[in-house]
Amino acid sequence: MSDSEEEESPDRQLKLVVLGDGTTGKTSLATRFAQETFGKQYKQTIGLDFFLKRIVLPGNLNVTLQVWDVGGQTIGGKMLDKYIYGAQGILLVYDITNGQSFDNLEDWYNVVKKVNEESETQPLVALVGNKIDLEHMRTVKVDKHQRFCQENNFSSHFVSAKTGDSVFLCFQRIAADILGIKLNKAELEQSQVQQKSLRGATLCMQLERECWKATA
């Protein structure tokens, strides 16, 4: 075995399951994180979709995140328990402009609790308020979000799949929490720099598109 092979430790694999009502932006979050893209057009997820993304956490720890993107219509269906089973992390996603999508998270969380009733280890649960680019249309108060987190020991996240704001940070923090790794200020800032460059790239793409439209 060569030196470089000896140094490589095998990737840790984490299963993260993304739950919440239809149109809250679960697929958009997963594609923003895994593929750095965003589509305005809504395409309902039927059943389940998968995304894989490898990230590096402090200490040169390679982690492969398996993101299970569950369709909002699966609640009440036979397959949902199976999708949730074995998850190390659960993202409960709502749309900050849609109060009903926040209220319905209670039902989603009840399914998570039921699936893990007899399990010794419990998944880490993250409450994710999406669409913060639509802050002016917010109907779910931040207080309400924080209270739900405190009552249930959820980690708290606000993101925008559209602009990419805090999306990488959200997944990175969840992975680090699951693995018991503390991210220091510099590492958190680093992930914000990555997002800024991502936003910069998106802006360039938009500008290119505008120019193309103008000249076409």
Ligand X SMILES: Nc1nc2c(ncn2[C@@H]2O[C@H](COP(=O)(O)OP(=O)(O)OP(=O)(O)O)[C@@H](O)[C@H]2O)c(=O)[nH]1
Residues that bind ligand X (CB under 6 A): 22-28, 39-40, 42-45, 71-72, 130-131, 133-134, 160-162
CA distance 98 to 22: 11
What one-character DSSP code corresponds to residue 88?
S
Residue placing its CB nearer to ligand X in the complex, 93 or 178: 93
Residue placing its CB nearer to Mg ion in the complex, 26 or 53: 26
Q: Which does 24 bind (CB under 5 to 8 A by kind): ligand X, Mg ion, none?
A: ligand X
Place of tokens 């305005």: 40
Please, what is the minimum distance in Å from the beta carbon of residue 119 to ligand X?
A: 25
Residues 6+ apart with CB under 8 A from 176: 57, 58, 182, 183
Per the DSSP assignment, residues forming a β-bridge with 93 are 128
Residue placing its CB nearer to ligand X in the complex, 112 or 161: 161
Q: Does 45 bind Mg ion (CB under 5 A)?
A: yes
What one-character DSSP code corresponds to residue 89?
E
Name residue 136's amino acid: H
The span of 1-9, 27-35, 136-144, 168-176 binding Mg ion (CB under 5 A) equals 27-35
Helices 26-35 and 167-178: crossing angle in degrees, nearest 10, is 90
| One character per residue 147-176, x = contact with Mg ion (rule: CB under 5 A) | ------------------------------
Please, what is the minimum distance in Å from the beta carbon of residue 36 to ligand X?
A: 14
Residues 6+ apart with CB under 8 A from 80: 70, 74, 111
Residue placing its CB nearer to ligand X in the complex, 23 or 194: 23
Residue placing its CB nearer to ligand X in the complex, 32 or 183: 32
CA distance 56 to 181: 12
What one-character DSSP code corresponds to residue 118?
T
Please, what is the minimum distance in Å from the beta carbon of residue 73 to ligand X?
A: 6
Instruction: Give me the residues that bind Mg ion (CB under 5 A), please.
Output: 26-27, 45
